[in-house]
Amino acid sequence: MLEYLIRFSQIHESFRKPELEALASFHGIDLEVLKYEENSPFCTVRLVSEKAAYTLISRSILAHAIYELWGVGTDYPSLHADVHARTASKSASYKDSSFRFTIDSYQGKRNSTAQRSLIESFKYFGFKGPITMNGAELQLCIFEDYEQKAEEPFMIYLGRLITGSQRQFMDKYNLKKRRYISTTSFDSELALVTANITHAAAGKLFYDPFMGTGSFPIACAHFGAMTVGSDIDSRSIRGKKNRNVLSNFHQYGLTSHLLDNFISDLTHTPLRVSRCLDGIICDPPYGVREGLKVLGKRGGGGEEVVMIGDKPAHLQEGYLAPKKPYSFNAMLDDILEFSAKMLVDNGRLSMWMPTAAEDIELGIPSHPWLQLVSVCVQPFNKWARRLLTYRRLPEAEIDQSIIIQRREYERDGTADELNAFRKKYFEGFKEI
Amino acid sequence: MKLLTLNFLTCARKTCKSLPAAFPLHPKDAELEVVETDFNAPFLRNILGRLEWDALKTLCMELGLPNLPPSAPEPEALLEPGAEMAELELERELEPTQTARDLHNLLLETGIKEGKLVCGNCGHEYAVKEGIANFLLPSHLV
Ligand SMILES: [Zn+2]
């Protein structure tokens, strides 16, 4: 087993390890995390081979790159000592390679003179090859980790670049450059991370039952999955001429990965019960703007056919099906139940769930056929949203003696009565 | 709405959903369209085992498309004859067979652009417009 250094971005900290672990399990790579801290972008891991290191990071979004670890120390003398111990055999094989040295100081700064002298301090390697700025065969980087406002780093690493990640794609899919978006379109970086955590990949079928303008299907399609999406709001799918979900797929050259979009409500889904989905990703509307709605008439009733003239209203052009407010917690349970029935063995569900900061410890919805894989938190000021990821247990691992009991929810009421989060949102949250 | 998707859809009414008569939905006044898409061997192979072949046969018949063979092709029939199973990993390099091309064309390139989808149990009609089907229900059918 060999040691590697992962250079993460210092953002969305609680998503970094789940993404890394999801990529390891997706590729069947044994991953041993040696050192990882939320407040540092540097992480050391043990892996079986360079090929495993390459595979692990090559589609990551939250990592920048992975390096073969050539040395680590709390100051330069201890780093050099460690480099001598680790690289005696390695560095010789790069004697005539083109090479490049860089310095990456986190929360610290070095002027160019200081940088040059640090690089000079490694001249004992005796590299004879040309120095190349682009595409050097050997790319070494000195990493310095500083405490905030410290003069000197508390940890220094030397690493040889193995591969970069797919982090640059968050810019390609940036919402600012996307032709069709709405207020609920999901930021491209976390959409791509969600697709990674959910194991989106070529050959797989992924579904988003609350697709909106298609943020998650696009992210899944980027990783090669075939995607299906639906939404209760027909306007969000159809959009306008040349500005709709289909045009977004066109913009990115991904139309071959868009199977279909249709208009439907998850509580009355037309998908037949069958284990046909490899992954489900959704950000169910918690209805801060309009309130979560499903099909049905508010306050009950509506059993009779509504007529306009001598023709039933629902058979006429431009008919809008009535919708009623629905409990957000009931919807989360509906999503779990749906996923339990529809996912293939080991298929994954990722769903986003908002929580008031004071409720962060509140329960995570569960289903006996689904195993919770990871919980990531994106904090905002007074609320947070969590990404919950589950794995559909293979049939053989399911405890058949457990009886699935649904929690009971208010059947009817106003949007606020049915949705505690929405209520708190408008009350401005409790001070904590 | 692609023919592949139709293989996974039934009537959205709770009283119909589990009934065999509600699946597959029957096309009515259907205007078909063919949109070229990239051939996708790994997806085709994965999805093959999840299809209800009889429902697909019914749909083709009702749309006036050529008859399908009595049973679904085996995944091996998607590769060029003589190719070893061990080469599956490299299949992007392999030429798809005519069977694979036909299936791709039928499932992923052929769709209903305009028309209706009718439940064989309750008779409710779901409209398809510009390729997008609407499965919302009026209150009296919820
Ligand atoms: Zn029906």
Q: Which residue in this structure is represented by tokens 């093959």?
A: B48
Give A220's contacts in chain B (Cβ within 8 Å).
Answer: none
| Pairwise CA distance, residues A328 & A242, whole Å | 33
Residue B124 has pLDDT above 80, yes or no: yes
Same domain, yes or no, for A134 and A206? no
What is the rounded distance in angstroms from the CA atom of residue A217 to the CA atom of residue A255? 11
| Cα A33 to middle of ligand 1, angstroms | 53
In a domain, A103, yes or no: yes
- What is the rounded CA–CA span in Å between residue A105 and residue A88? 26
Question: Has residue B24 got a pLDDT over 80?
Answer: yes
Q: Nearest to residue A280, comparing CAs of A203, A371, A330, A344? A: A344
Strand partners, A46: A3, A32
A120 in helix, strand or coil?
Answer: helix
Partner A, chain B 96-125, Cβ-Cβ below 8 Å: 108, 111, 125
Instruction: Note whether A17 and A88 are same-domain residues.
Output: yes
Residue B81 predicted with pLDDT over 70: no
What does A132-182 look like in DSSP terms, one character per residue? -SSS-SEEEEEEEE--TT-SS-SEEEEEEEEEE-STTHHHHT-GGG-SS--
Distance CA B96, CA B115 (A): 32
Q: Which domain holds residue A177?
A: 170-426
The predicted structure's pLDDT at residue A425: 77
* 8-state DSSP, B9: B
User: What value does the mean pLDDT take over residues B98-102?
Assistant: 93
Q: Which residues of A touch B139 (CB under 8 A)?
A: 295-297, 301-303, 306, 321-322
Judgement on whether residues A93 and A189 belong to the same structural domain of the protein: no
Instruction: Tell me what ipTM this predicted complex has.
Output: 0.93
Q: What is the pLDDT of residue A101?
A: 95
Sequence length of chain B is 142
DSSP secondary structure code for residue A358 in this structure = G
B130 near A CB under 8 A: yes
Nearest residue in A to B126, CA atom:
A315
Q: Is the pLDDT of residue B95 over 90?
A: no
| Distance between CA atoms of residues A226 and A223, nearest Å | 9
Looking at the structure, tell me whether residues A317 and A331 fall in a common domain: yes
Per-residue pLDDT, A148: 94
Please indicate whether, in this complex, the C-beta atoms of A273 and B2 are within 8 angstroms of each other: no
The answer to whether residues A271 and A404 belong to one domain is yes
Confidence at residue A432, expressed as pLDDT on a 0 to 100 scale: 44
| Residue of A293, A297, A314, A345 to mutate, testing the B interface (most B Cβ within 10 Å of its Cβ) | A314
Domain boundary among A134, A164, A194: A164
| Listed residues A127, A142, A164: the one ending a domain | A164
Report the residue of chain A nearest B46, measured CA to CA. Answer: A203
How remote is the CA of residue A172 from the centroid of ligand 1, in Å?
43
The verdict on residue A309 lying in a domain is yes
Query: Are residue A222 and residue A92 in the same domain, yes or no?
Result: no
Report pLDDT for A78.
97
| A431 domain residue, yes or no | no
Q: What is the pLDDT of residue A259?
A: 98
Residues lower than pLDDT 70 in chain A:
1, 287-290, 357-362, 410-412, 430-432
Question: What pLDDT, on a 0 to 100 scale, did the predictor assign at position B87?
Answer: 52
Choose one of A109, A136, A164: the last residue of a domain.
A164
Report the predicted TM-score, pTM, of the whole model to 2 decimal places: 0.94
Would you call B135 and A262 a contact, using CB atoms and an 8 Å cutoff?
yes
Tell me how far the alpha carbon of residue B16 lies from the centroid of ligand 1, in angstroms. Answer: 5
Same domain, residue pair A208 and A109: no
Instruction: Report the Cα B30 to chain-centroid distance in Å.
Output: 15
Contact A259 B132 (CB under 8 A): no
Are the beta carbons of B9 and A271 closer than 8 angstroms?
yes
Which of A220, A236, A141 minimizes the C-alpha distance to A228?
Answer: A220
- In a domain, residue A17? The reply is yes
Return d(Cα A30, Cα A27) in angstroms, integer. Answer: 9
CA distances from residue B134 to A268, B7, B9, B54 in whole angstroms, order as listed: 12, 16, 12, 24
Please report whether residue A432 resides in a domain: no
Contact A274 B2 (CB under 8 A): no
Of A37, A46, A45, A47, the C-alpha closest to A16 is: A37
Tokens 């979009």 correspond to: A261
Specify if A114 maps to a domain.
yes
Question: Same domain, yes or no, for A134 and A239?
Answer: no
* Closest among B105, B110, B138 to B124, alpha carbons compared: B138
| Assigned token pair, B132 | 């997008």
Q: In b/e form, how buried is each residue of A257-275, taking b as 16+ CB within 10 angstroms? A: bbbbbbbbbbbbbbbbeee
DSSP annotation string for A260-327: EEEE-BTTB--B-SSS-EEEEEE-----SSS--EEES-TTS---SPPEETTEEGGGSTT----EEE--
Chain A neighbors of B38, CB-CB under 8 A: 256
Domain CATH number, residue A76: 3.30.2130.30
Is A356 inside any structural domain?
yes
CA distances A421 to A287, A355, A427, Å, are 9, 7, 10
**Burial class, B26, CB count within 10 angstroms (exposed 0-12 / middle 13-18 / buried 19+):** middle
Q: What is the domain count for chain A?
A: 2
CATH of the domain at A359: 3.40.50.150
Same domain, A337 and A387: yes
Residues of A in contact with B140 (CB under 8 A): 302-306
- Rounded to a whole number, what is the distance in Å from the CA of B57 to chain A's nearest CA? 17
Is residue A64 within 8 A of residue A9, CB to CB? The reply is: yes
Do A204 and A156 fall into the same domain?
no
List of chain B residues whose C-beta atoms are within 8 Å of the C-beta of residue A319: 138
Q: How many Cβ contacts (< 8 angstroms) between chains A and B?
A: 123
A399 touches chain B (CB under 8 A): no
* A150 and A260 fall within a common domain: no
Q: Hey, which residues does A389 pair with through a beta bridge?
A: A350, A374
Interface test with A, best of B136, B137, B141 (most A CBs within 10 A): B136
**Domain assignment of residue A237, yes or no:** yes
Averaged pLDDT score across all residues of chain B = 91
Per-residue model confidence (pLDDT) at position A416: 74
Q: At CA B85, angle to CA B84 and CA B91, rounded to 5?
A: 90
Q: Are residues A314 and A202 in the same domain?
A: yes
